[in-house]
Every structure is written in structure tokens, then in C-alpha cells.
A = this chain, B = another copy of it.
Amino acid sequence: MITSFHPPQRTLMGPGPSDVHPRVLSAMARPTIGHLDPAFIGMMDEIKQLLQYALRTENPLTMPVSAPGSAGMEACFVNLVEPGDKVIVCQNGVFGGRMKENVERFGGEALMVQDAWGTPVSVDKVRELMQQHDDIKALAFVHAETSTGVCSDAQALCRLARDYGCLTIVDAVTSLAGVELEVDQWGIDALYSGTQKCLSAPPGISPVTFSEAALEKVSKRESRIPSWFLDKKLVMGYWGGGQKRAYHHTAPVNALYGLHESLVMLQEEGIENAWQRHAMHHEALKAGLETLGLKFTVAADARLPQLNSVQVPEGVDEAKVRSLLLQNYSLEIGAGLGDLAGKVWRIGLMGSSCTRRHVMLCIDALENTLGEMGVELPSGAAAAAAATYAAQEQ
């Protein structure tokens, strides 16, 4: 007989999920109600408002897709890419490659802009490609590449797209609530995110927003959308507002309780304060890691505070380090993905996992673990992090 599952209590400092706050966990355990219950519909409206707040947008189509970030990605591409559409896809990590897959599976043509993993998308290369083609329908890029920890200049890329009259599709899975993200001000047309990164809700839901121009593209489509579940025209009958909701699918009720609570917490903190918090703890973590002699993959000016990709010191068995951290400290950090597999660790400081307690634990655990494995390390990492906090307080 299989019995109840009792997970270990971890500290999650990988690329997501991040630690889920007890307030969010207990929200998930509240009694399930119907997805058409008036009380639930009231909560749906609040989630919409809270997402608009977090995304800095007034887009009426702002809602959580009832599935993980990859489905949010698919919701954007399946609605916005028609067979034959040319889409510029910027790849500087794993998730740009997934965007390419999406474009092609829906019959579009992906024109690739390749940049080295760990560097931002080159705005110049994108401009060149736009100059060469006059029929680009959309520009797709990843704001915060979870696989490398690099932040691209979303504002500049969106301005460029606007200049050339094409839509933008932006992956903001890891950026939302961790660094500045301005949907309306930057003119982002379609964006998807995730709940398990800087929002610190459990994985499984993907916030998306579509601008008016994106909606127009959907409504003018000539071909049928090759998905029923993700068809925005249908989904909006349920999420669209008003007390009269058309049944589309059964919403993941309890998961949405969790998302609601995490968004309430974000609003209590204030979105700008959340950005500031991520920046502050990143500085302390960086001071500690650099004192240990670890090198960042990404240059300082393009580094995401919430996803710290550092190079594995030569000769160190990186998987063993992660395994020891899990075993001895119940601490999860992330492995490298794709081109960076085996070469880097990804240390997340996201949402509820972005606190002084996390920073100090991570430095201590890494220092001890590497030391026990015989790596010679300079001392003073914890002191360097603490000094950074002290300096920031002044």
C-alpha cells in the first residue's frame, strides 16, 4: 500500500519553485468552492486587478492561464502566430529555443537572433534583421533568462518593435516581481509569466497579459487557433468580467487561492519595494560568493538579482555539491541547463526565498560543503555579506 506523502522541508534557492510562504500554503488548503460560485468570481476579479498591479498594465486581458509557464508561453504563440507569419526570436538561453519551437509548431517562420548564453539580447542585431525584412509580424524575446541569469533590455526591444510595426511577445517568467517590468510603459503586447519564481506561489499557473494590438491580431486571424484550451477568445468568456461567466474549463480553484494570497502579499509590500529587496539581497549574496572566489556567468550590468548563475570551480563535481547541500542543509540550488549544464550553479533569490536568512544560509552551506570536499577557499564570505547589509542600511 502506498501511504500519504510528507515532503521534506527544503530551502528552495534554485531557479524556481522558490519557498512558498506559509500564508500562501494555508490559502491553498481552504475549502474548495465551485468555479462558477459568486464568491469565486469575486476572487477572480481581484486576481485580475492584482495582476494588473504587478504587471503595471491596464490591459483588460490580464489573467492567469490554468497551467504552468510553458502553457502560458504556448497561449501567447498559439493565439498570435498564424501559419506563414515571420517572427524574430531572440535566443540567448534555453527559453528562446522553446519560443522557436512554439513559432514553428504553429506554422510560423522563426528568424533567429543568436547571442551567447549569459549575454543580453543584442538590440542592434534585432534592428538589422528588422531592416532586412518588411514583413515581420512579431518580436519574441526572454526578459529574464532563467537558464543563464541574464536580463535583456525589454524597453529598448519593445521600442524597436513598435518602430517597425510589429508585436512583442515577452517571456517574463522570472522577471515578474524581481526586477522592473512595465507592460504599458514599455509597450509590451503579449507577456507570460510564472507563479513559482518571484511571486512565490506554487508552480502550475501562468499569468498572461495581451495588449489591445495583440487582441486585434487575434480577432483578425484568418486561420483557426490550433488549441481549444488556450484559445483566448473562448477563455475570455470565463475570465472576461461581469457576473455572467461562460463555462470554458474548470479553473484550478485552490491553486488560484494560493496565487491570490501571494499577490495580496506583493501588494502589501509594494511592487517597487519588492524590486528593491531583490536588488539588496543580491548585493549581499554577491559579496559572499565573490569572497568565496566564485565567478558570475553574467556581466554585472546585465545580471538578474533573483537568479545568480555562478561558475563551478574547476575540478569540482557540481552534482555532488548539490547533493550534499540537499542532504546536509536541505538546501536546493539549481544545476546548469542546456549549454551550461555541468558548468554553472543557479542560485535563486526569488520572492520568499529572497531574505537575509537565505543569503547567509547559502553562503555558509556552500563554504562548508566546498571546504569539506577539499576545495581551498578564502575565508570571510559571511562577513563580506554582512558588511554589505550594514553598508546598505546607512
Binding site for B on A (CB under 8 A): 1-10, 12, 14, 16-17, 19-20, 23, 25-35, 37-40, 43, 46, 49-50, 66-71, 73-74, 78, 98, 101-102, 104-107, 194, 196, 202-205, 224-229, 247-255, 257-258, 260-261, 263-264, 267-268, 326, 332, 337
Report 12 cross-chain contacts, Cβ distance below 8 Å, ordered by A residue: A4-B261, A5-B46, A17-B34, A29-B29, A32-B196, A37-B332, A70-B228, A70-B248, A70-B249, A102-B228, A204-B250, A254-B258
Contact between chains at A70 and B3 (CB < 8 Å): no
Chain A contact residues: over half helix, strand or loop, or mixed?
Answer: loop
Q: Which residue of B lies closest to A248 (CB)?
A: B70
Contact between chains at B25 and A257 (CB < 8 Å): no
Q: How far is the CB of A168 from chain B (nearest CB, A)?
A: 20
Q: Which residue of B lies closest to A34 (CB)?
A: B332
**Could you tell me the distance between the alpha carbons of A14 and B50 in the complex, rounded to whole angstroms?**
29
Contact between chains at A2 and B264 (CB < 8 Å): yes
Q: Which residues of B contact A106 (CB under 8 A)?
A: 226
Q: Which residue of B lies closest to A338 (CB)?
A: B247
Q: Interface centre among A16, A23, A196, A204, by most B CB within 10 Å?
A: A204
Q: Which residues of B contact A225 (CB under 8 A)?
A: 105
Q: Which residues of B contact A249 (CB under 8 A)?
A: 68-71
Number of copies: 2
Contact between chains at A14 and B26 (CB < 8 Å): no
Q: Which residues of B contact A66 (CB under 8 A)?
A: 67-68, 71, 204
Q: Which residues of B contact A49 (CB under 8 A)?
A: 2
Q: Which of B78, B202, B228, B332 is within 8 Å of A254, CB to CB?
A: B202
Q: Which residue of B lies closest to A249 (CB)?
A: B70
**Could you tell me the distance between the alpha carbons of A8 and B38 in the complex, rounded to whole angstroms?**
10
Q: Which residues of B contact A224 (CB under 8 A)?
A: 104-105
Contact between chains at A6 and B30 (CB < 8 Å): yes
Q: Which residues of B contact A19 (CB under 8 A)?
A: 32
Contact between chains at A202 and B255 (CB < 8 Å): yes
Q: How far is the CB of A11 from chain B (nearest CB, A)?
A: 10
Q: Which of B14, B20, B228 is within 8 Å of A101, CB to CB?
A: B228
Q: Which of B25, B27, B71, B248 is within 8 Å of A30, CB to CB?
A: B25
Q: Which residues of B contact A7 (CB under 8 A)?
A: 30-33, 37, 39-40, 43, 257
Q: How far is the CB of A269 from chain B (nearest CB, A)?
A: 12
**Could you tell me the distance between the alpha carbons of A354 and B202 in the complex, rounded to whole angstroms?**
30
Q: Which residue of B lies closest to A337 (CB)?
A: B247
Contact between chains at B32 and A4 (CB < 8 Å): no
Contact between chains at A105 and B226 (CB < 8 Å): yes
Q: Which residues of B contact A250 (CB under 8 A)?
A: 16-17, 68-70, 194, 196, 203-204
**Could you tell me the distance between the alpha carbons of A14 and B74 in the complex, rounded to whole angstroms?**
31
Q: How far is the CB of A40 from chain B (nearest CB, A)?
A: 7
Q: Which residues of B contact A104 (CB under 8 A)?
A: 224
Inter-chain pairs besides A5-B257, A70-B249, A227-B227, 16 sampled, C-beta below 8 Å: A4-B264, A7-B33, A7-B37, A17-B34, A20-B32, A26-B29, A34-B332, A37-B326, A67-B67, A71-B249, A105-B224, A106-B226, A202-B255, A203-B252, A204-B253, A204-B255
Q: How far is the CB of A314 from chain B (nearest CB, A)?
A: 25
Q: Which residues of B contact A20 (CB under 8 A)?
A: 31-32, 254
Asked, given contacts A5-B260, A203-B251, whether A10 binds B31 with beta carbons under 8 Å apart, the answer is yes
Q: Which residue of B lies closest to A13 (CB)?
A: B34
Contact between chains at A226 and B226 (CB < 8 Å): yes
Q: Which residues of B contact A29 (CB under 8 A)?
A: 25-26, 28-29
Contact between chains at B5 and A27 (CB < 8 Å): yes
Q: Which residues of B contact A226 (CB under 8 A)?
A: 78, 105-107, 226-227
